[in-house]
Structure 1
């Protein structure tokens, strides 16, 4: 599993200009079966996505995020070897 933590490097106003294409990118990540959960950081300094899949594919996909392309946010990708979950979240062990 991967934790994709994005941090805005431009203003939230600039992020808002690219939010619609970014959200389309997020929805496509869900459609591909890679994204499991996502949301904004509080306070709003970026966001976090939980993802599964192959690291190279995830990294390439992150590079195609409109936020990345337009320099709005930078990503930190952390790989997590999940060993224990509550019932129903076994998919995280992939």
Structure 2
């Protein structure tokens, strides 16, 4: 599983121009079973995504296709996490 941190760059004021494409990109990630959770990093620092079902290379490619990343609105950091214990509702993350 991976945690994707999308931190706003100095031109975050341009985000509105690319918001619709970013939302579509997020929706595609959920529809394809890669994204589990997405939300904002408070206070207005960017966003975070919990991902699974993708290799690091596949996720890096997917993240590069986010309009926010492609246009330099955010910088992306991907952190790989190897879960060793979960709540039983999240046991699928152990595989």
TM-score, reference length from structure 2? 0.92
SS in 2 for 1:88: helix
Q: How far 1:63 sits from its partner (Å)? A: 0.6
Aligned length: 94
SS in 1 for 2:89: coil
Alignment root-mean-square deviation, CA: 1.1
Q: Which residue of 2 aligns with 1:77?
A: 78
Q: TM-score, normalised by structure 1?
A: 0.93
82-91 or 58-67: bigger deviation: 82-91
Partner of 1:3: 3
Which structure 1 residue ranges, 5 or more long, are not aligned? none
Superposition deviation, residue 17 in structure 1: 1.9
Kindly indicate whether residue 20 of structure 2 is the aligned counterpart of residue 20 of structure 1.
yes
Structure 2: unaligned runs, 5 residues or longer? none
Mapped to 2, the partners of 1:16 and 1:51 lie a distance apart of 24
